Structure 1
Amino acid sequence: MSADDVLVCGVGITPFGRSEATGRQLAVEAVHTALADAGLPWSRVRAAFGGSDAAGNADTLVTRLGLTGVPFVNVRNGCATGGSALVSAVNALRAGAADVALAVGFDKHPRGAFDPRPADWGLDEAYGAEGLMVTTQFFAMKIQRYMHDHGITPHTLALVAEKAYANGVRNPHAWRREPLTADEILASGMVNDPLTRYMFCSPGQGAVALVLCNRAVARELGGAAAPVALRAAVVRTRRFGSFEVFSPWAPGGTPTSVSTDAARAAFEEAGTGPDDIDVCQLQDTESGAEVMHMAECGFCEHGEQRWLLASGATAIGGALPVNTDGGCIANGEPIGASGLRQVHEIVQQLRGRAGERQVPGEPRTGFTHVYGAPGVSACTVLTR
């Protein structure tokens, strides 16, 4: 089976933010929506992969979905959980183990910052006592170095968040739907220099599900499913010399980048490149992340981001729209769902079904990228 014989035939998403629903309830809702979108019953799914970081085991969703005996594998891989579930589902189709597969990601996090335990990451407790488990501190250290090396200013960081909130206004599933100006974002209170309060995403809740089919099943479904070809789906871990969450160390020189490795692998698998992408989703845990990932994934040279953002090139009507649904900054981050939310958005953009946030000109090719601790990245390439 070739790479473009894996098709996304159904997508489902819940509103992100906070509600009384459990993470598992949201996941079931997203799965039902995705199945209805594909025009398939749950009994037709031959393999399922899913996960969350804090909301329970995905395989237990069968108690609500139906006890069909389907093989259902739990996935837990930090912020790359959704992307890893998707890669697993893709591999099941390519191996011929299934002709219809499900990928689902969901989470429900408590209020406040993420609270990782050093022992879960193979680290001594002293590491936490020194404050090195604080993710806001890590992201600040990383973007401080990047700004120094490439001439990025705090105003550029504010423009990333301003765009995110503006796009969130157009997204009915987004958590943050109020516009904010760059000046308001800069004045919102320093968390870790240079990152202010409104430059960060917030832990939240939400669920996304994708139904994948091979080409034979897609033909049976006809045009109703509006399938999108998933040309590549890859996951990579860090190499020596990287500077990562919970491992903020570099041996000197230019650090290696797991995001660069994953993006290159995805483009190679798809037989395409950054210049061919019409719309993309990049991990934006905070404003600096989107800036760095633009260059790390090959969409610009390091330092060019300040001009691209100032010119509106990454806005919905720009040359390369980035995070058209508001990204993590506007949607929040339910860890298990974020990577699949990105794919959901690209599928809707390529279908022409993104509503008020639809990219003009009938985009044909999309890219997604997620990054998480302790140096894991998942990327996809999709085509209409």
Structure 2
Amino acid sequence: MTGAAIIGVGCRPFGRYQDTTVRQEAVRAVREALADAGVSWSQVDYAVGGSMDGGTADTLVAELGLTGVPFLNVFNGCATGSSSLISAVQAVSSGAAEIAVVVGFDSHPRGAFTIDPAAMGLGQWYGAVGLALTSQFFALKIRRYLHEHDLPERLLAKVAAKAFRNGSLNPLAWRRKPLSEDDINASMMLSDPLRQYMLCSPNDGAAALVLCRADRAREFSPHPVYIAAATVRTRRPGSFEVLSPSLSVRRGVSPTVDAAAAAFEQAGIGPAEVDLAQLQDTDAGAEIIHLAETGLCADGEQAELIEGGHTEITGRLPVNTDGGCLANGEPIGASGLRQIHENVVQLRGTAGDRQVPGDPRVAFSHVYGAPGLSACTILTR
């Protein structure tokens, strides 16, 4: 267990901002989280946040207030938000801070993410020959996974349809229109077997959290959520990750396997105790793979889980209850904190039409980022 709790959350609608800026939305997300916690910005003695394209997080103090607060900038790919959370957890748990704010935000143009191959430790040739288009990587990975574990391709459309169905119940989601499996299967093939509506899109979004020491949580909130674990891991030899120029002869586990195992060990909680989960679903295949890599099921069991309705909001293991990346899009800096926000409102019982029944007590979240790292968080009531 960590020594930190979440006492406030704020999340702005995801999408493409027209009448505002992502920076303004980040400030609003922080203010929402502070109001939810019942504290002021002047009481915050540690802040951390990150963004890929939206600007540097520490400059938000120009609008929030020039209090001299220590403010760290973090960038860790799609795990930026969760990695920022880990920094705040460590500051609060160690006693270095009483109240901490975590914020993530981003704004990306239409189309695929752009990268600098040299910044990823690759030659410029990598982008020039087209290998930086990550939909190809995800397609190859899920094609191999389906074959190796004898899983049907139809699961991809089922996962995507669930995401849009859940997103239609989420007022903060970008894609609010439910899509049927037929709609999804009729969309354009982009990287076989992944079709247009099986892949998420870059967009805009902002989310924030307020943390305090676990033993003081009820001083601030009647419904605190405790951070049982927060971990991050990078890849090991033989792990086939985004931007890998080749497939190693030696097979190794994904960093997701290591991050999830470390989170469950830190929390003293087993996968069977998880009541709901938010999993990285950059594409529909990723959710299928990550169900097993996080230990929530065994390889090959996904067909029974998905086709049996067990990953639906009313199932025994609801997954991506807010619509995930497929319905919300993926603003890199905000994406991981969106997951945490969703798990907090679910554990509070305030998720509205998408509320998981049965009084959930343990929530798991997982993010995966290029070029090969993963972060996992476990929250409890």
Q: TM-score, normalised by structure 1?
A: 0.97
RMSD of aligned Cα (Å):
1.0
Are 2:369 and 1:362 equivalent residues in the alignment?
A: no
Aligned partner of 2:113: which letter? F
User: 2 CA distance for matches of 1:368 and 1:381?
Assistant: 6
Name the residue aligned to 2:368. Answer: 371
Task: Find the residue that maps to 2:104 and give its secondary structure.
Answer: strand
Q: Could you tell me whether the CA contact under 8 Å between 1:138 and 1:248 is conserved in 2?
A: no
Are 2:107 and 1:147 equivalent residues in the alignment?
A: no
Name the residue aligned to 1:198. Answer: 197
Name the residue aligned to 1:241. Answer: 238
User: 1 CA distance for matches of 2:218 and 2:139?
Assistant: 49
User: 1 CA distance for matches of 2:143 and 2:79?
Assistant: 24
Deviates further, 84-93 or 248-257: 248-257
Q: Which one of the candidate residues 324, 327, 331 is aligned to 1:330? A: 327
Name the residue aligned to 1:165. Answer: 164
Q: Could you tell me whether the CA contact under 8 Å between 1:22 and 1:55 is conserved in 2?
A: no
CA shift at 1:337, angstroms? Answer: 0.5
CA shift at 1:222, angstroms? Answer: 4.9
Name the residue aligned to 2:263. Answer: 266
Task: Find the residue that maps to 1:154 and give its secondary structure.
Answer: coil
Instruction: Count how many residue pairs are aligned between Structure 1 and Structure 2.
Output: 380
Name the residue aligned to 2:15. Answer: 17
User: 1 CA distance for matches of 2:87 and 2:269?
Assistant: 22
CA shift at 1:216, angstroms? Answer: 4.5
Pairing 1:104-253 to 2, within 5 Å after superposition:
104-223=103-222, 226-252=223-249
| Structure 1 gap segments, 5+ residues each | none
CA shift at 1:171, angstroms? Answer: 0.2
Aligned partner of 2:107: which letter? K
Aligned partner of 1:9: which letter? I
Aligned partner of 2:283: which letter? E
Structure 1 residues 305 and 222: CA distance shift in structure 2, 3 A: closer
Aligned partner of 1:6: which letter? A
Aligned partner of 1:145: which letter? R
Structure 1 residues 50 and 304: CA distance shift in structure 2, 3 A: same
Q: Could you tell me whether the CA contact under 8 Å between 1:281 and 1:327 is conserved in 2?
A: yes
Q: Could you tell me whether the CA contact under 8 Å between 1:99 and 1:217 is conserved in 2?
A: no
Structure 1 residues 295 and 222: CA distance shift in structure 2, 3 A: closer
Task: Find the residue that maps to 1:146 and give its secondary structure.
Answer: helix
Structure 1 residues 222 and 366: CA distance shift in structure 2, 3 A: closer
Q: Could you tell me whether the CA contact under 8 Å between 1:283 and 1:290 is conserved in 2?
A: yes
User: 2 CA distance for matches of 1:217 and 1:41?
Assistant: 16
CA shift at 1:255, angstroms? Answer: 3.2
Aligned partner of 1:55: which letter? G
Q: Could you tell me whether the CA contact under 8 Å between 1:24 and 1:106 is conserved in 2?
A: yes
User: 2 CA distance for matches of 1:83 and 1:299?
Assistant: 19
Q: Which one of the candidate residues 323, 335, 343 is aligned to 2:340? A: 343
Q: Deviations over 1:50-106 (max 9, x none)?
A: 000100000000000000000000001110100110000001011211011111100
User: 1 CA distance for matches of 2:139 and 2:252?
Assistant: 16
Q: TM-score, normalised by structure 2?
A: 0.98
Name the residue aligned to 2:298. Answer: 301
Aligned partner of 2:4: which letter? V
